[in-house]
């Protein structure tokens, strides 16, 4: 970057002053000012350095992220400026993008998604071997097979870059990516692409990341959740864990794919331990696992990284040289699963994006999901109700419809609100429940427990406020009504700010809705607890409190059972005399309740 003022010209690289035609004499009137020839020579040197500048090839993933992030941000800002000018090409692209992906998305949302899509398309093409100098044609040719959605974004880029500023921003991304060398790029980190994206998003726009509730879950927590779910699946009879036929897994806000990568890693270790080499590493397990896992993500950058990482992991597990298609969808999890999928003429403009929505909708409509896990974004609605009217999509704002349960004319979130209102916490619920996290919880409960009657598990990280606050009382009541078993683990996490308490891991389980009550009870005794009779006592008590069934041990039975022990001691103290058990039943004559010794 060059900066000129009345004293001279200066050249900066990454915010660091490199050259200047200015001298101390310019700021010291008592000294002789530099000659015109000195200034001319300095200016020529600086101008030559600017024109002939070449990017420094990155050596690490972090260096790559640090350099690519500001270039992507510049493209995003130029796209926003183009929309403010109402450039027809950019406005048309946004209309197609938002009609298919997120209805009512702002200019900033579109510019953010589109800029990241362009940047990652260029980067993936270079890392996959596209020749330099990069061109739109070489990028499309390289990524078409494995990154079809990004391919279409680049394909339509020519219609969008009517603005010279957008063209220049795109060319700067090309110029930098030309020097990226996949062979010399060091990947020292255990999860290089996860670390890349986390560092990228922090440099790209940390404020936007905070506002949208995007936080990266530590791998230790992810692995702990996955291990819990792995053990539960084995107890449910799925002998090959996540790779078992009949197990469908969804991460509804996958981010960069960390949860499903942990699922793949745990499955590989388990199968090798169980079957040994030759069987445990059979590619058929990887093929089945790739059918079982599904991920949805609305952030284009995170989606791109997740698709790449999960695809590479499945390719490695199935011994494939190329990345196979994986069930990672650029989609809004909270949108209407039964929305009109025709898309009209806009669908033809971004057909690949529309296809992603159709696939995601099919997953959302399909029943039989066994496991939903993850750590969805935490984003509390701070503005007015009108400002947040679109947040939460179908789950919050639209009637659920006949296909999604009753009452069909009420949104899914109405169950949480009405529950809090009945418990006397309506005002608190109005403040606590408008949160992306709560909407994802409601969606997961509907998907796992209300769409079908089979056994299922939901495992999410959860702020403590949802476990204790009055505003979430209706939510907790609904959880208890749907789940047969709830486990919470205090993770002692760091606070987002002074208002956010520590976080917990919450896992919910539900047994298959068997008409044979005895068989169902035995299933849950096997799944949870230590196998003793305590389970039945607790279950009977809970069912009595919930009004499902009458407690078989009422107060009279309890008194009679207790009296046996007390009276046996009295009998022993009185030379083993026969002692009658009192009649504690209701309305019994007093003389029948007296213990005679």
27 with 163, same domain: the answer is no
- Measure CA 263 to chain center: 14
108 with 144, same domain: the answer is yes
Six token digits for residue 236: 């449910």
Is residue 320, in this structure, part of any structural domain at all?
Answer: no
Buried b (16+ CB within 10 A) or exposed e, 435-470: bbbbbbbbbbbbbbbbbbebbbbbbbbbbbbbbebb
18 with 109, same domain: the answer is no
Six token digits for residue 78: 């130029």
Six token digits for residue 588: 């019994």
Six token digits for residue 587: 């309305």
Six token digits for residue 19: 């050259």
115 with 28, same domain: the answer is no
* The pLDDT value given to residue 181: 87
35 with 107, same domain: the answer is no
Is residue 112, in this structure, part of any structural domain at all?
Answer: yes
Q: Which of 192, 211, 230 is the last residue of a domain?
A: 211
- What's the DSSP call for residue 403? G
CB-CB contact of 385 with 433 (8 Å) = no
Cα separation, 470 vs 489, in Å, equals: 20
Is residue 293, in this structure, part of any structural domain at all?
Answer: no
pLDDT profile of the chain (597 residues), mean per 10: 55 62 47 60 71 81 91 93 90 80 77 91 91 90 82 73 82 92 71 80 78 71 93 92 95 93 95 90 91 92 89 87 82 85 52 80 88 87 50 85 79 92 90 91 93 90 83 90 85 51 72 48 48 69 79 81 89 88 73 58
Is residue 109, in this structure, part of any structural domain at all?
Answer: yes
| Phi, psi angle pair for 380, to nearest 5° | -75, 135
Look at residues 334, 332, 294 and name the one whose alpha carbon lies nearest to residue 446.
334
103 with 42, same domain: the answer is no
Is residue 110, in this structure, part of any structural domain at all?
Answer: yes
Q: Which of 193, 211, 229 is the last residue of a domain?
A: 211
Cα separation, 299 vs 114, in Å, equals: 10
154 with 189, same domain: the answer is yes
- Measure CA 34 to chain center: 60
Query: CB-based burial of residue 421 (10 Å sphere; 0-12 exposed, 13-18 middle, 19+ buried)?
Result: middle
43 with 86, same domain: the answer is no
* Domains identified in the chain, total number: 3
CB contact set of 531 (below 8 Å; sequence gap of 6+): 525
Six token digits for residue 320: 């494939």
Query: What is the dihedral sign for C-alpha 466, 472, 477, 479?
Result: negative
96 with 47, same domain: the answer is no
47 with 186, same domain: the answer is no
Cα separation, 458 vs 441, in Å, equals: 9
Domain that holds residue 581: 555-592
Q: What is the pTM of this model?
A: 0.74
Give alpha helix (H) positions in 366-482: 393-397, 414-422, 426-432, 436-445, 465-468, 473-482
The order of strands in the sheet holding 503-510 is 328-330, 293-297, 249-251, 371-374, 456-463, 503-510, 485-490
129 with 27, same domain: the answer is no
* The pLDDT value given to residue 523: 47
Look at residues 403, 527, 423 and name the one whose alpha carbon lies nearest to residue 477.
423
Cα separation, 489 vs 386, in Å, equals: 36
* The pLDDT value given to residue 590: 66
CB-CB contact of 242 with 294 (8 Å) = no
Give the DSSP per-residue string, 253-283: T-TTTHHHHHHHHHHHHHHHHHH-TTTTT-H
Six token digits for residue 3: 């900066």
Is residue 563, in this structure, part of any structural domain at all?
Answer: yes
Cα separation, 339 vs 401, in Å, equals: 11
List, in sequence order, every residue forming a beta bridge with 354; answer none if it has no partner: none
Is residue 330, in this structure, part of any structural domain at all?
Answer: no
* The pLDDT value given to residue 530: 56
Element (H, E) at 488: strand 485-490
């Amino acid at each position: 970057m060059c900066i000129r003022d009345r004293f001279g010209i200066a050249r900066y690289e990454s915010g660091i002053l490199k050259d200047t035609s200015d001298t101390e004499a310019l700021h010291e009137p008592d000294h002789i000012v530099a000659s015109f020839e000195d200034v001319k020579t300095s200016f020529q040197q600086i101008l030559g350095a600017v024109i002939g500048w070449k990017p420094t090839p990155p050596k690490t993933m972090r260096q790559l992220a640090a350099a690519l992030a500001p270039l992507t941000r510049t493209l995003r800002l130029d796209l926003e400026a183009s929309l403010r000018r109402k450039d027809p090409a950019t406005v048309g692209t946004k209309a197609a993008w938002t009609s298919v992906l997120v209805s009512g998305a702002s200019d900033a949302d579109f510019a953010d998604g589109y800029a990241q899509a362009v940047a990652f398309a260029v980067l993936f093409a270079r890392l996959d071997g596209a020749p330099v100098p990069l061109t739109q044609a070489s990028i499309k040719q390289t990524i078409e097979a494995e990154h079809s959605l990004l391919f279409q974004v680049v394909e339509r880029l020519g219609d969008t870059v009517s603005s010279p500023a957008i063209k220049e921003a795109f060319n700067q991304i090309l110029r930098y990516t030309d020097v990226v060398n996949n062979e010399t790029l060091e990947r020292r980190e255990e999860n290089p692409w996860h670390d890349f994206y986390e560092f990228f998003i922090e440099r790209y726009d940390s404020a936007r990341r905070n506002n949208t509730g995007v936080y990266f879950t530590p791998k230790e927590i992810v692995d702990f959740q996955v291990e819990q779910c792995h053990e539960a699946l084995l107890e449910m009879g799925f002998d090959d864990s996540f790779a078992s036929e009949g197990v469908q897994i969804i991460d509804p806000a996958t981010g960069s794919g960390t949860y499903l990568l942990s699922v793949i890693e745990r499955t590989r270790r388990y199968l090798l331990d169980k079957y040994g080499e030759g069987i445990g590493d059979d590619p058929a397990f990887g093929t089945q696992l790739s059918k079982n896992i599904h991920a949805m993500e609305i952030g284009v950058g995170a989606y791109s990284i997740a698709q790449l990482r999960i695809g590479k992991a499945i390719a490695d597990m199935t011994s494939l040289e190329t990345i196979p298609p994986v069930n990672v969808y650029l989609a809004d999890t909270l949108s209407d699963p039964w929305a009109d999928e025709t898309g009209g003429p806009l669908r033809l403009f971004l057909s690949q994006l529309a296809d992603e929505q159709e696939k995601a909708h099919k997953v959302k409509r399909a029943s039989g999901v066994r496991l939903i896990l993850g750590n969805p974004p935490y984003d509390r609605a701070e503005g007015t109700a009108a400002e947040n009217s679109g947040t939460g999509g179908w789950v919050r704002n639209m009637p659920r419809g006949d296909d999604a349960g009753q009452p069909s004319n009420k949104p899914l979130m109405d169950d949480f609100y009405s529950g809090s209102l009945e418990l006397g916490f309506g005002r608190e619920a109005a403040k606590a429940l408008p949160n992306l996290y709560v909407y994802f919880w409601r969606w997961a409960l509907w998907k796992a427990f209300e769409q079908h009657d089979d056994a299922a598990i939901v495992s999410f990280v959860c702020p403590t406020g949802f476990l204790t606050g009055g505003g979430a009382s209706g939510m907790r009541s609904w959880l208890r009504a749907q789940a047969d078993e709830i486990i919470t683990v205090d993770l002692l996490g760091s606070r987002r700010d002074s208002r956010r308490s520590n976080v917990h891991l919450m896992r919910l389980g539900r047994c298959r809705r068997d008409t044979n009550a005895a068989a169902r009870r035995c299933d849950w005794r096997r799944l949870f607890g230590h196998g003793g009779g305590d389970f039945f006592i607790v279950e009977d008590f809970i069912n009595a409190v919930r009004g499902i069934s009458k407690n078989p041990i009422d107060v009279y039975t309890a008194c009679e059972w207790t009296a046996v022990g007390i009276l046996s001691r009295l009998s022993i103290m009185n030379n083993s005399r026969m002692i009658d058990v009192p009649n504690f039943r209701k309305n019994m004559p007093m003389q029948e309740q007296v213990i005679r010794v």
